[in-house]
Chain A
């Protein structure tokens, strides 16, 4: 396991300095994006896709009808 807090998944010295800096800047954003994507998918599939949610939504959308 990596102990270095500055340790990003790039081979140091493997590429030009600029590329390393770019990946270093992008990596935290990638983590955020990945985690957000998983959470959004969970909400869409497991929460809104569930029978209970569908029942509630359908009740809500039909509540204004006479």
Chain B
């Protein structure tokens, strides 16, 4: 029974997303195939739903508001439902002829679905616990979408997080984890759309999907609260339409997907700019379009993208003083940033630069990227990498399709995105759009080798693909099985909760005790996600200061009354600036566990 609410919530969200996506169908070019239409309406629908929820949530984010938006989407969906089913049937017909890759894709999706039903656990090192799920939980409690001041990253663009909130509201804490299945599906559909546009056929599209889903770096970007796969889907959808665009409606669609990418991650702004550059170069240089017409169409793209992404950046500007928060080094001098002192901003950027240093930013490291991304994945936080196929077969695929302009355009996009990634933050999952395109090129290369290569080369390329998939599965499946085990075994899940959730006993006390109304959490590294009650955290882990002039314990405690705090959670091993002494005055110890104490404010 505990699985029904999360599954139901996800199905409602899917139906609503497809409903909103159906509104885009009028804009699709006639030439688009069934797979293109399904992929784009699926991704577009998810994006539009998230954006609408975000806009509505600025004023009203109760369960009724969420239900209203979702039902609206479902009602829109009735009109296009039959057409979507027809198109999906066309896609399902290709399953019977595809064989092995279908087993890989379905197997991984199945494991993800079961593992996705486990309760999220972990400490502040898990991005999902630290901010992807924390924001939605607080928004639901406050019935309003506002950045959580003690966690700067909850102010990031939130197309997907608002959907996590809707899922939590309908299906509980497990529901957002299950959403990974739809994230993976969307990227696979988009990859298949690109693969078929490049002439791969349904068999090739299935192999592309199998290569992608068995890339641990891609899988990591979809599971456990990560939003990178959906971000990649938006970027690729924009690219898919951009290079074939001809009418004003096509450019509106490109702009919509660029806006959605920017509304999902800040890196979407870079991807948007690079896609514009790429489209311009290809339109003027290769397709010989008139300069004025190209500029006009790119203007339409920018207009649509700004309209979609505007709410996310305007919200930050209004509530946090800067559209991009934490602001990059160029911006912070021009804006009055709230909650984050200058030292904290500089420290944050130093951390980002250090984390994203990869194997250096020199020329040598740049040219060795294909090799390093394949074999030294941990230097990029790559979760097991991308397999062998991109390095071994993608260059051959590129050579094979050298006479066509579309592969050249996509290769240029790969080059630009990779270069931007190399000079900003070398975090493997940020490069998922590139990995997907490389997988398409790899299958193109494989087909080319199968056509013109010797028997020995054909055997070698088959070994490359086999190792790619098997090695990827070896990295993905064991971890997913732990989640699946937790999902199906309440005993194991409980054991995992006790092992993985720091200060669980205190949170259990706080959540169960009816007299606890608001908690003061003194330590910045305590995961506030686990508190079902309202809380105040004076200091955040990035140096956020949420209370004015309250950087020491005395100042914080003096404000406790004004904050209507009923209890204080203090944890022992960390020696932070806000450390309670033994037997503090005005506080009564009401719960004590190992390294953790809860006090009642008298």
Which A residues are closer than 8 A to B by beta carbons? Answer: 1-2, 5-9, 27-28, 31-32, 34-36, 38-39, 41-42, 45-46
Taken residue by residue from 196 to 218, chain B's Cβ proximity to chain A (1 for < 8 Å, 0 otherwise) reads as 00110000000000000000000
Q: How far is the CA of A13 from the CA of B573 in the complex (A)?
A: 76
Q: Across the interface, do A35 and B460 meet the contact criterion of CB distance under 8 Å?
A: yes
| B461 close to A (CB within 8 Å) | yes
**A34, B399: Cα distance in complex, Å:** 14
**B203 CB to nearest chain A CB (Å):** 15
Extra contacts, 9 of them, besides A2-B401, A2-B403, A34-B395 (Cβ < 8 A), are A1-B198, A1-B404, A28-B452, A31-B454, A32-B456, A32-B460, A35-B392, A38-B392, A42-B467
Contacts A28-B454, A31-B449: A38 and B402 contacting too (C-beta < 8 A)? no
Question: Would A42 and B451 count as touching, CB distance under 8 A?
Answer: no
Are A39 and B464 CB-contacts (below 8 A) given A2-B401, A31-B396? yes
Which residues of chain B are within 8 angstroms of A27 by Cβ–Cβ distance?
452
Q: Is B457 an interface residue (CB 8 A)?
A: yes
Docked complex Cα distance between A27 and B452 (Å): 10
**Among A1, A36, A39, residue most surrounded by chain B Cβ atoms (within 10 Å):** A1
B21 close to A (CB within 8 Å) = no
Query: In the complex the two chains form, is A9's CB within 8 Å of B392's CB?
Result: no
B28 interface hit (Cβ, 8 Å): no
Report chain A residues within 8 Å CB of B451.
5
In the bound complex, do residue A38 and residue B453 qualify as a contact, i.e. CB atoms below 8 Å apart?
A: no
Query: Is A1's CB under 8 angstroms from B449's CB?
Result: no
From the candidates B375, B404, B452, B457, name the one contacting A5 in the complex (CB within 8 A): B452
Instruction: Identify the B interface with A (CB < 8 A).
Output: 198-199, 371, 375-376, 388, 391-393, 395-396, 399-404, 407, 444, 448-449, 451-454, 456-457, 460-461, 463-464, 467, 471
**Nearest CB of chain A from residue B216's CB, rounded to whole Å:** 12
- B40 to chain A: closest CB distance in Å? 22
Known A-B contacts A1-B198, A7-B452, A31-B453; A36 and B460 likewise in contact (beta carbons under 8 Å)? yes
Q: Which residues of A contact B391 (CB under 8 A)?
A: 38
Contacts of A42 in B (CB 8 A): 375, 388, 467
Is B444's CB under 8 angstroms from A1's CB? yes
CB nearest to B399 among chain A residues: A9
19 example contacts (A-B, Cβ-Cβ < 8 A) are as follows: A1-B198, A1-B401, A1-B404, A2-B401, A2-B403, A5-B451, A5-B452, A7-B452, A9-B402, A28-B457, A32-B460, A35-B392, A35-B457, A35-B460, A35-B464, A38-B464, A39-B392, A41-B371, A42-B388
Partner of B199, one of A1, A6, A31: A1
A residues less than 8 Å from B404 (CB atoms): 1
> Do the beta carbons of A32 and B452 come within 8 Å of each other?
no
B454 touches A34 (CB 8 A): no
* B residues less than 8 Å from A46 (CB atoms): 375, 471
- With A1-B407, A38-B391, A42-B375 as given contacts, are A8 and B452 in contact (CB-CB < 8 Å)? yes
Residues in A whose Cβ lies below 8 Å from that of B402: 2, 9
Chain A minimum-CB-distance residue to B400 = A2
By the criterion CB–CB under 8 Å, are A39 and B452 in contact? no
Q: Which residues of A contact B392 (CB under 8 A)?
A: 34-35, 38-39
* A38 adjacent to B388 (CB under 8 Å): yes
User: Which residues of the partner chain A approach B198 to less than 8 Å between Cβ atoms?
Assistant: 1
Query: Which of A6, A35, A41 interacts with B452 by CB under 8 Å?
Result: A6
Most buried by A among B388, B392, B449, B471: B392
Q: Which residue of B lies closest to A42 (CB)?
A: B388
Contact A39 B463 (CB under 8 A): yes
Q: Is the CB of B400 within 8 A of A1?
A: yes
Contacts of B454 in A (CB 8 A): 28, 31-32
| B467 and A39 form a contact (CB under 8 A) | yes
CB distance from A4 to the nearest CB of B (A): 9
Q: Which residues of B contact A31 (CB under 8 A)?
A: 396, 449, 453-454, 457
Cβ–Cβ < 8 Å partners of A2 in chain B: 400-403, 448
Chain A's nearest CB lies how many Å from the CB of B450? 10
User: Smallest CB-CB separation from A41: which chain B residue?
Assistant: B375
Q: Which residues of B contact A5 (CB under 8 A)?
A: 451-452
Question: In the bound complex, what is the Cα–Cα distance between A7 and B392 (angstroms)?
Answer: 20
CB A26 to nearest CB in B, in angstroms, measures 12
Cα A10 to Cα B40 with chains together (Å): 38
Complex CA–CA separation, A39 to B463 (angstroms): 8
In the bound complex, residues from chain A placing their C-beta under 8 Å from that of B457 are: 28, 31-32, 35
Given the complex of chains A and B, what is the CA–CA distance between A31 and B454 in angstroms? 9
Chain B contacts for A7, CB-based, 8 A = 400, 452
Shortest CB-to-CB span from A28 to chain B, Å, is: 5
CB contacts (< 8 Å) of B401 on chain A: these are 1-2
Q: Which of B407, B454, B457 has the most CB of A within 10 A?
A: B457
Q: Which one of B393, B407, B453 lies within 8 Å of A28 (CB-CB)?
A: B453
Chain B residues with Cβ below 8 Å from A38 are: 388, 391-392, 464
Give Cα A6 to B463, complex, Å.
24
- Chain A residues whose C-beta falls within 8 Å of the C-beta of B444 in the assembled complex: 1
Contacts of A1 in B (CB 8 A): 198-199, 400-401, 404, 407, 444
Q: CA–CA, A57 to B467, complex, Å?
A: 22
Q: Are A35 and B375 in contact, with the CB atoms below 8 A?
A: no
**Cα–Cα, bound, A9→B400 (Å):** 8
Residues of A within 8 A of B460 (CB): 32, 35-36, 39
Task: Write the nearest CB–CB distance from B362 to chain A, whole angstroms.
Answer: 21
Question: Chain B residues near A34 (CB, 8 Å)?
Answer: 392, 395-396
Complex CA–CA separation, A34 to B198 (angstroms): 24
Q: How many angstroms between the C-alpha atoms of A40 and B399 in the bound complex?
A: 23
